[in-house]
Amino acid sequence: MASITVRQLDDKLKRLLRLRAARHSRSMEDEVRVILRQAAEQTGGEVLEHLDPPARPTRQTTRAIAAGTKRILLIIGGGIAAYKSLDLIRRLHDRGAQVRCILTAAAQHFITPLAAGALCGERAYTDLFDAQSEFDIGHIRLARDTDAIVVAPATADILAKMAGGHADDLATAVLLATDKPILIAPAMNPRMWAAKPTQRNLAQLIADGIRVVGPNRGEMAEPLEIAAAVAAITRPAGPLSGRRVLVTAGPTNEPIDPVRFIANRSSGKQGHAIAEAAAAAGADVVLVSGPVSLHDPPGVSVVKVETARQMLAAVERAMPVDIAVFAAAVADWRPERTSENKIKKQPGQTPSLALIENPDILSTIAHRKSDRPRLVIGFAAETEALVANAKAKLAKKGSDWILANDVSPQTGIMGGDTNTIHLITANGVESWPPQSKDEVARMLIERIVGALGDAKR
Ligand code: CTP
Q: What is the pLDDT of residues 345-354, one digit of tens each?
A: 999 999 899 9
Ligand 1 centroid vs 433 CA: distance in angstroms? 23
Nearest CA to ligand 1 atom 21: 380
Give yes or no for residue 59 having a pLDDT over 90.
no
Ligand 1 centroid vs 57 CA: distance in angstroms? 46
Of 34-43, 83-92, 145-154, 185-194, which gets the smallest average pLDDT? 34-43
Q: 264 catalytic, yes or no?
A: yes
Residue 37: the pLDDT is 67
Residue 15: the pLDDT is 81
Name the percent of the chain lying above pLDDT 90.
69
Of 28-42, 106-120, 197-211, 267-281, which gets the smallest average pLDDT? 28-42
Q: What is the mean pLDDT of the chain?
A: 88
In the structure, which protein residues have their CB atom closer than 6 angstroms to any atom of ligand 1? 248, 308, 326, 328, 330, 332, 358, 360-362, 378-381, 393
Nearest CA to ligand 1 atom 12: 379
Write a three-state SS string for the chain: CCCCCHHHCCHHHHHHHHHHHHHCCCCHHHHHHHHHHHHHHHHHHHHHHHHCHHHCCCHHHHCCCCCCCCEEEEEECCCCCHHHHHHHHHHHHHCCCEEEEEECCCHHHCCCHHHHHHHHCCCCECCCCCHHHHHHCHHHHHHHCCCEEEEEEECHHHHHHHHHCCCCCHHHHHHHHCCCCEEEEECCCHHHHHCHHHHHHHHHHHHCCCEECCCECCECCCHHHHHHHHHHHHCCCCCCCCCEEEEEECECCEECCCCCEECCCCCCHHHHHHHHHHHHCCCEEEEEECCCCCCCCCCCEEEECCCHHHHHHHHHHHCCCCEEEECCECCCEEECCCCCCCCCCECCECCCCCEEECCCHHHHHHCCCCCCCCEEEEEEEECCCHHHHHHHHHHHHCCCEEEEEECCHHHCCCCCCEECCEEEECCEEEECCCEEHHHHHHHHHHHHHHHHHHHHC
Nearest CA to ligand 1 atom 16: 380
Q: Which atom of ligand 1 is nearest to the CA of 365?
A: 7
Give yes or no for residue 51 having a pLDDT over 50.
no
Of 4-8, 15-19, 249-253, which gets the smallest average pLDDT? 4-8
Q: Which atom of ligand 1 is nearest to the CA of 378?
A: 15
Q: Which atom of ligand 1 is nearest to the CA of 380?
A: 20
Where in the chain is CATH 3.40.50.10300? 244-333+354-456
Ligand 1 centroid vs 345 CA: distance in angstroms? 33
Q: Does the domain spanning 66-234 belong to CATH 3.40.190.10?
A: no
Ligand 1 centroid vs 327 CA: distance in angstroms? 9
Residue 178: the pLDDT is 95
* pLDDT band with cut points at 50, 70 and 90 for residue 134: low
| Bridge partners, 424 (sequence order) | 402, 429
Pocket test for ligand 1, best of 246, 262, 272, 326 (most atoms within 8 A of CB): 326
Task: Give the pTM.
Answer: 0.73
* pLDDT band with cut points at 50, 70 and 90 for residue 439: very high
The span from the CA of 17 to the CA of 349, in Å, is 74
Of 324 and 34, the structure prediction assigns the larger pLDDT to 324
Residue 45: the pLDDT is 43
Q: Which atom of ligand 1 is nearest to the CA of 308?
A: 8
Give yes or no for residue 1 having a pLDDT over 60.
no
Pocket test for ligand 1, best of 364, 393, 419 (most atoms within 8 A of CB): 393
Pocket test for ligand 1, best of 315, 361, 362, 405 (most atoms within 8 A of CB): 362
Name the catalytic one among 201, 264, 358, 405: 264
Pocket test for ligand 1, best of 252, 264, 379 (most atoms within 8 A of CB): 379
Ligand 1 centroid vs 442 CA: distance in angstroms? 22
Where in the chain is CATH 3.40.50.1950? 66-234
Give yes or no for residue 81 having a pLDDT over 60.
yes
Residue 133: the pLDDT is 56
Give yes or no for residue 36 having a pLDDT over 80.
no
Nearest CA to ligand 1 atom 24: 332
Nearest CA to ligand 1 atom 9: 362
The span from the CA of 99 to the CA of 288, in Å, is 23
**What average pLDDT does the segment 386-407 reach?**
93
Q: Which atom of ligand 1 is nearest to the CA of 402?
A: 15
Ligand 1 centroid vs 96 CA: distance in angstroms? 28
Distances (CA, A) of 181 to 87, 173, 186, 385: 22, 15, 16, 53
Of 67-81, 133-147, 404-418, which gets the smallest average pLDDT? 133-147
Residue 115: the pLDDT is 95
Ligand 1 centroid vs 396 CA: distance in angstroms? 11
* pLDDT band with cut points at 50, 70 and 90 for residue 217: confident
Q: Which atom of ligand 1 is nearest to the CA of 248?
A: 11
Residue 57: the pLDDT is 37
Assign a CATH topology to domain 244-333+354-456: Rossmann fold (3.40.50)
Ligand 1 centroid vs 312 CA: distance in angstroms? 13
Q: Which atom of ligand 1 is nearest to the CA of 364?
A: 7
